Amino acid sequence: MALFAEATSIRDVIAFPKTAAGTDLMLDSPNPIEQKQLDELSIAIKKASK
């Protein structure tokens, strides 16, 4: 896409840019979330069985 847009940097065309450390500045992710947020969305995290 960077070639088509004639962008000088790939960061100019990345939809969800990340920092050099791989984090998203807009969402502060990846980051642990609170149980309250999981409950609000009816999401359950299950541990993998060995």
Q: What is the pTM of this model?
A: 0.41
pLDDT above 80 for 18: no
Counting beta carbons within 10 angstroms of the beta carbon of residue 41, is it exposed (0 to 12), middle (13 to 18) or buried (19 or more)?
A: exposed
**What is the average per-residue pLDDT within 16-41?**
81
CA distance 17 to 39: 28
More confident residue, 37 or 30: 37
pLDDT at 44: 93
pLDDT at 32: 85
pLDDT band at residue 50, thresholds of 50, 70 and 90?
A: confident
Beta bridge partners of 29: 24
pLDDT above 90 for 22: no
